Amino acid sequence: MTEKLDRRQLRTKQLLRQALLSIVETKGFDGITVSELAQAAGINRGTFYLHYSDVPHMVESIHSEMMNGLQAIMEEVDINELFTVPVTKEPYRVVVRVLEYMELHTDYFKVTLGPKGDTSILLQLKKMLQKQMYSKLTFLFPDAEMSPFPLDYLIAYASSANIGIIQHWFETGCKLRPKEVASLMLRILQQGPRGSIGLS
Amino acid sequence: MTEKLDRRQLRTKQLLRQALLSIVETKGFDGITVSELAQAAGINRGTFYLHYSDVPHMVESIHSEMMNGLQAIMEEVDINELFTVPVTKEPYRVVVRVLEYMELHTDYFKVTLGPKGDTSILLQLKKMLQKQMYSKLTFLFPDAEMSPFPLDYLIAYASSANIGIIQHWFETGCKLRPKEVASLMLRILQQGPRGSIGLS
DNA sequence: GTTATTATTGAACACTATGTTGATTAGTGA
DNA sequence: TCACTAATCAACATAGTGTTCAATAATAAC
């Protein structure tokens, strides 16, 4: 997989990554030129093409790195537990680990999930959640007709909702600990919006 | 407001709008050139600049039109009712009207809310929902400390969740009627994810 | 430490899109 | 019909693209 070692390559890739995220933070992912990227990174414009064919290619490449990291954690998730385990002081472990991973890479996620962010990443993230939810829900409801509520809409609802919480977490500067955020997600998922604020 | 009448201007604006949405549908909002836009619309490239300064300006302009239409409807919403009125066969009226408006402009919303869509529009839409929710929730909980659940996170959750449902609605080709979608939104908002599928 | 390797640099290239201008044509409203 | 003005067409300087090549510098391996 990672069979690249030359310090020079690593250095320029790091410089490019920093430059990209810095630019994205101010003007979003659109309209970034190779020229400004190279200048911000302090490297020669031609050098960029030794690593990426294109700005979109570089963006996609960085996206993949982060998504792979998330995917590895996600694959351990067990939605069944999420739905059946009662509220405890220890929120669901894998959720916490996902949030910790995101907090570790704040520089990346705060921009991609924010207002200048990337739709495709939000979508991938949502699809990850949905995939897990779907497999577990179809286990709970082998015959889709048994559910009094269309499962696809339920999944669309719950996945978007949790992403909304994560976005708000970054938007407010990650003031809460991953554990606390996971705890909120668990409570609202179990009790629903009305129940969580104390309405009957 | 709308004091433009010349048929020629209306014609080219319509042609440009159609061309834009058609292009966006295939390659998203990014990297659209004035040249391809003019060609797709069958107008002279220079003519574009008689109407818009820029591609982003045109995009922003079309966004505003749609958002203003939504805003006018949204301002009638009464979240209080959403939270207190029991499930009836008639879902909340304003929600239905918003969904009807969106369905009327399917060509626009199916792309902007979809995978190739625009983050800023999703954000504006979410902010609209949040504004309404916030004013109503602070009415229910004048002292923010009274809520056992942080209101900002609750609002982030609920607004994203409902947008997720709308996105899924367009994603699946608007098979349900606006009334049916509004009914789903109401049920899940009241009963929560677990309650709506019949779990205790 | 020397050497072979290779990433980076800098300059040049043709190409595409930009945004603007001025003169001309053609459609519109009164 | 006629004054007005939107749309067209060609031309322009500018800026970014993606590529190539020779020269330079840093690196890894011996």
Phi, psi of A64 (to 5 degrees): -60, -45
Record the tokens describing residue B102, joined without a space. Answer: 């969106």
Q: Which nucleotides of D are covered by protein (CB under 7 A)?
A: 5-11, 15-21, 26-29
pLDDT digits (tens, 9 = 90+) for B44-65: 999 999 999 999 999 999 999 9
**A168/A188 Cα distance (integer angstroms):** 15
What are the Cα distances from residue B6, in Å, to A6, A115, B12, B114?
64, 37, 10, 34
Quote the pLDDT of residue A89.
53
With 80 as the cut, is the pLDDT of residue A40 above it?
yes
| Contact between A184 and B149 using a beta-carbon 8 Å cutoff | yes
pLDDT of residue A1: 46
**Average model confidence (pLDDT) across chain A:** 87
Shortest alpha-carbon distance between residue B161 and chain A (Å): 4
Instruction: Give the amino acid at A37.
Output: L
- Residues in chain B predicted with pLDDT less than 70, given as ranges, are 1-4, 77-91, 144-146, 199-200
| pLDDT at A108 exceeding the cut of 60 | yes
For the segment A48-76, the average pLDDT, to the nearest whole number, is 93
Dist CA A173 CA A153 (whole Å) = 31
Question: And the tokens for B69?
Answer: 């239409």
Contact B38, B48 (CB under 8 A): yes
Domains of chain A, start order? 7-51 (1.10.10.60), 56-196 (1.10.357.10)
Sort out which chain A residues have CB atoms less than 8 A from B167's CB and list them: 156, 160
Task: Find the mean pLDDT for residues A94-117.
Answer: 94
Q: Which residues of B touch A189 (CB under 8 A)?
A: 192-194
> How far, CA to CA in Å, does B59 sit from each of A42, B107, B140?
33, 14, 38
Contact B177, B191 (CB under 8 A): no
pLDDT for residue A43 is more than 50: yes
Q: Quick one: pLDDT at residue B13?
A: 97
Lowest-pLDDT range of A18-22, A168-172, B77-81, B153-157: B77-81
Q: What are phi and psi of A76, to 5 degrees?
A: -90, -10
Give me the pLDDT at residue B1, please: 47
CB contact under 8 A, B157 and A193: yes
Nearest alpha-carbon partner for A71 in A121, A145, A2:
A121
Give the lowest-confidence range in A51-65, A100-114, B99-113, B177-191: B177-191
What average pLDDT does chain B have?
87
Q: CA torsion sign, A153 to B155 to B147 to B81?
A: negative
Of B179, B181, B158, B160, the residue nearest B170 (C-alpha):
B181
Identify the pLDDT of residue B9. Answer: 97
